[in-house]
Structure 1
């Protein structure tokens, strides 16, 4: 018995091409299930799957594999029509895409209106499969996008799939016509894989971010081309094995592979009734490597753009190849009923999971979700995906689906009812006579609509209208979003005066108040003789913070209970969060120097300190309220900042922001402060815990209540009140 290393049994070697492609690969369904689970877990917050985005690479490989099998089948059977192939992709993708838009927009308006502006800006580009290029033009990085997310962010993947279908279908047709042999065809595909991988590496290393490298069709094509090359290789191998069998029966000689390669590929064992061959072992190793990557890889790892994504695609292709053997270990493991069920709903789950996760897990949540909360959310996601699958994705006609496997679906799922030619002819016969052009335009539309369920028809039309309205109507979407958000959360409404301002005590202390004025009424130091050691001055205040740094001039500062002001004079270097709290901070710490700016990075702190030191406004202590806009590489970054501050006591603030670097940054700050006496910690993360009213819907910036709480926290860190 020959090995099934190419994905086909010898018993199938003499079957026709139509028969070879007809089975549905249950193992690929299971692989699709694992990929969508990784993606959903990656988008959960917090997520243990830092590399869950590798599931997208697996989907790309499956897409390229099944798309190429479909094109090859049409080409070899003489039924290849470019327009027909593209129409089948549209039939599969567009109704689901438009339905998701139709359902997402009202959901966002009703429950998460702060996401509406980005929803509005992305709806039309998503509907026309162009949102990935829109993100590239806007320079919106996937792994470090600023502000609130767009519920349509995952639709970039659908756009790339459709763009690849348009280009690759034509390109493969052209390669068939110009390549002298199959070897030339394989060489051309490998050349394109290498070229796309180089384009990704170049794009990632020659830009400010990885936006183009991650979203571009040119840079992600390598992963789909790996799947395409696998389909071509398996097709050639099956034909070659058929020729071997035919020549053996006829007694003639045939070209054989090298002996060493034949031995490796033909090795197999068995576990009961399950066959295990070399490809099974390679597939299981590949699966374990990808699983480890889901826990350890990060999207900002430079090596991922220098061959990492292509390597993940090759590993995925190895698993897909093993799944094409019906009785292999890989197919038995991945083809179990639970995984197959999840895999068949993968497209629906991909479309519904991200908007629902954003609604169910708002950025303002400041407490961890209990385990049962995650279970409830998982059940909601599964229920929503099941409804979308049954009432939108599944077609009315299943005959064609039972006969042929997927035609380049984004998740490798079958093309439901795309070739229902009989229903098309029956429909056109009953139509009144039209001219030839009208008939050619209307017939595909009628065929498409007739294959959809009523819910799919309604939602598709509704989604298209919604996308056009959002993209064309010049409404003030920011104002609409804000008004709806205030209805849901009245605490975010702006107010003209901070509650820290006390009208009974007049204006707060002037920023020009002298240090001597702040200590009026304090007891003078006792007289001492020259022979005795002077006692330590009694501090005027007792700071309250997670860790108070040594060296603060506590005898020079005082708290004025009548005005609620603290006379401390720190230099506060911050980003947009500190900038938002500048007004109440200046009210209760009038001598503080507040230097805050939107999108400021942590590494800029020494430069701004130097400017203030030269101007004589560096204060007696420094507060570094940065870290929201990027990850801290290691403690050496903080060491360099502290060394630039001339030995002054330094406070670092922990951060509260719904990004992947929140917890690592806080851990780095605490670890560094623990080993440096003159470094303290002000815990904004802890202060805001359980107080969603402190934060706007982005989970980072401060509401009026949050600004006051932030200012009081800062005052306590210096004056204890």
Structure 2
């Protein structure tokens, strides 16, 4: 049991590197940078990664404890995600009330639906486009993706527990999960109408679930706690070769794809999800050299703060950009906005995310530090 616990706590820094690349791509996309037309694909990477990590964690708990502590899992998720997002929402709401109260009134539904993690369906119901903005865009329009992930966190532990008991073998479980992913991917392909605004299929939990489920299926057949670095040199080479090719494909898609690409919704997102799964499979393997490359200290720093960077970047960009600015912003503007984004994200991570996740307030930590210096 001691050895198993040690494996469970194995930190995989390469995944932080992947998070960093993904969140930087999303930020570049929202800056309208020409070389990051497909930066929105970073969200898809996060979906696959979430599906893998959560399923990997739940399966480990089932293996070692023969059960899943649902309440404990949901409390951890709430403490990890909700406080930082609510802090951002309060700051944005206060700013709008002081600067533009009428705009705050029109965004009340956006705020409320975001707190309860149903923002994506709220946007679908009200036919709000993610890509075509009529008037000033919502500074919290990016929170739809967090709603999808939280909906997954609520349902998946219960469903996974039931499926494990029903299907037993890992092979059967993986096939069943991939079948669900296929249904979701087919739904995206059928609901997408070429030449029209793709926001419905872009926002939908039903049409985006395949990415999370592909990550979940990978966790079933490739659990991080079963992997060992005792493999042949040929296998190591093949592992990193696959990872390098998959990373190259990811970069090419982020550079050349755009939100209206005719191939993106029928097959593009699905293809990217598979590519991301390959990258994750390589990064979580202890023998991976690619994992060591993506574990570079700057990437780790950004990756650990990727959640804060994601929730803060969009309101900063929207609220600090001229309303008429629809093109690529100037270098100085980007530099100033990036500075503010990183400052707010670092503060959120330091004083909100980490203390609450670890169950300690920032002032408690300050007292402990003061005592240690006496």
Report the TM-score when normalising by structure 2. Answer: 0.89
CA contact (8 A) 2:124 2:203 kept: yes
Q: Give 1:113 shift.
A: 5.8
Q: Distance in 2 between matches of 1:30 and 1:98?
A: 26
Partner of 2:139: 151
Distance 1:366 1:61, change over 3 A: closer
Q: Give 1:145 shift.
A: 3.8
Partner of 2:354: 394
Tell me whether 1:383 sits opposite 2:343 in the alignment: yes
Q: Give 1:129 shift.
A: 0.4
CA contact (8 A) 1:115 1:149 kept: no
Gaps of 5+ in 2: 365-374
Distance 1:366 1:338, change over 3 A: closer
Cα offsets for 1:185-219 (capped at 9, x unmatched): 11101111111111111121399642331111111
CA contact (8 A) 2:56 2:224 kept: no
Partner of 1:50: 37
CA contact (8 A) 1:132 1:156 kept: yes
Q: Spell out the pairing of 1:59-70 with structure 2 (5 A cutoff).
A: 59-70=46-57
Distance 1:198 1:100, change over 3 A: same
Picking from 148, 171, 176, the partner of 1:160 is: 148
CA contact (8 A) 2:44 2:269 kept: yes
Distance 1:213 1:370, change over 3 A: closer
Query: Which moved further from structure 2: 127-136 or 73-82?
Result: 73-82
Q: Which has the higher contact order (CA 8 A, sep 6+)?
A: 2
2:36 is paired with a residue of what secondary structure?
A: coil
Partner of 1:194: 182
Partner of 2:265: 305
Q: Give 1:235 shift.
A: 2.4
Cα offsets for 1:54-99 (capped at 9, x unmatched): 1001111111111011111221122412222222211211111211
Q: Give 1:325 shift.
A: 2.9
Larger Rg: 1
Q: Give 1:110 shift.
A: 3.9
Tell me whether 1:31 sits opposite 2:31 in the alignment: no
Partner of 1:204: 192
Picking from 233, 255, 259, the partner of 1:295 is: 255
Q: Distance in 1 between matches of 2:328 and 2:152?
A: 40
2:57 is paired with a residue of what secondary structure?
A: helix
CA contact (8 A) 2:34 2:328 kept: no
What count of residue pairs does the alignment treat as equivalent? Answer: 363
Q: Spell out the pairing of 1:150-549 with structure 2 (5 A cutoff).
A: 150-205=138-193, 209-235=197-223, 238=226, 266=232, 268=234, 276-365=236-325, 369-395=329-355, 416-417=357-358, 451-453=360-362
* Aligned structure 1 segments of 4 or more residues deviating by more than 6 angstroms: none
Gaps of 5+ in 1: 1-13, 246-264, 270-275, 397-415, 418-449, 456-721
1:48 is paired with a residue of what secondary structure?
A: helix
Considering fraction of residues, name the structure with more helix: 2
1:277 is paired with a residue of what secondary structure?
A: helix
Partner of 1:101: 89
Q: Distance in 1 between matches of 2:224 and 2:255?
A: 36
1:147 is paired with a residue of what secondary structure?
A: coil
Q: Distance in 1 between matches of 2:108 and 2:247?
A: 39
Distance 1:108 1:49, change over 3 A: farther
Q: Give 1:453 shift.
A: 4.1
